[in-house]
Structure 1
Amino acid sequence: MDRNILNDAALWQQVKRGDTASFSCLFERYWEEMFSMAYRRLADEATAKDFVQNIFIHAWENRQQITVEDKLSPYLFTALKYSVIRHIYREAKQGTTDLPLSVYSLPDETEQRKQDHYEFDTLKEKVQWEIAAMPDKMREVFILSYEKELSVREIALRLSLSEQTVKNQVHNALKRLRLRLQSQSVYLPFIL
């Protein structure tokens, strides 16, 4: 079977059955364009490659939850966009780069992309609201892990908890977020 002549939806049906050759075909179909987009935004070849690779890894791991009606590109490029925005905000928070005056001032923005940023910001607000609604200890552990980026060991030492308790709290917090934000859960890894 010549996979190159199949459309994305047909290939994705094979991917859902665990067909790595069909997944490789989709990877080859979109890799270069995604890398180019990531590199234009990040100006760092290694980081751009990592971003694209991580999106494909995430797509493979979540292939059963991803629906492809026509093309896989909307999922891939939306995930890439959210990853880049998250990266820019993190670097700005750490003081390693300046945050653009607005996410809309990023290069090559179109009206659709502005709408996507609005949707991203709305989802981010929902995530923040859900984090604020967590039980105190869970919220504290989760914030130290995801916002402060401390290791399990560092959190355990700081809060006088066992490392297993920290792992459990982070796991339960993520499970809670996925459950409460089910319709957007495919994009959560790119926001958190």
Structure 2
Amino acid sequence: MLQNYTDDMLLVLIQGSDEDAFTELFQRYWKQLYATALKRMAKEEEAKDLVQELFVKLWMRRSTIPEDAKAAEYLYTALRYRIINYFQADQVRLKYANTRLAEQDYFTSSTAESSIALEELESVIEQAMADMPARMQEIFMLSYKNGYTPKEIALQLSLSVQTVKNYLTHARTLLKGRLMGQNPELYAQLLLLGAVWTVS
């Protein structure tokens, strides 16, 4: 359904905390943004981290997105500032150990911080998986760990595709419950993962 929405319409929905719109916008833009970042960055992993951080911050600061913002312009401007700040931060760290540069830009966070967040998220996911019913855990593992689509999981386990999607939706709800009160930024990371292993 959201495939018929324009990019700008998706951005408006994201302002209203629509997770599916976030997933759709991510899927439309991440490859283009990654390719752009890769032209400037020395390593593929750095470019990937930069784009992931951009979308995490987009979700975290969704309520501050200007009402008249254009999706493409907004995302590419944000990426440009992230790249600038990435290189500026390296220079500043050499001079000022306690620089506040990362706090002053609304889209700035270090790659190291992102890695720590992802490690923490992985730990929460592992804990949540341990509490899942056996079938849900099996389905979630195939999706999250192995990258199987709902259709592939359904064929492997002799289930309907809708049943698989229901299990994955419940698993995501369980994770959301753990993260919302614990660390909202980690939940943004979860949404980003959901954009990759979407259940829709």
TM-score in terms of structure 2 length: 0.47
Q: Point out which structure has higher relative CO (alpha carbons under 8 A, 6+ apart).
A: 2
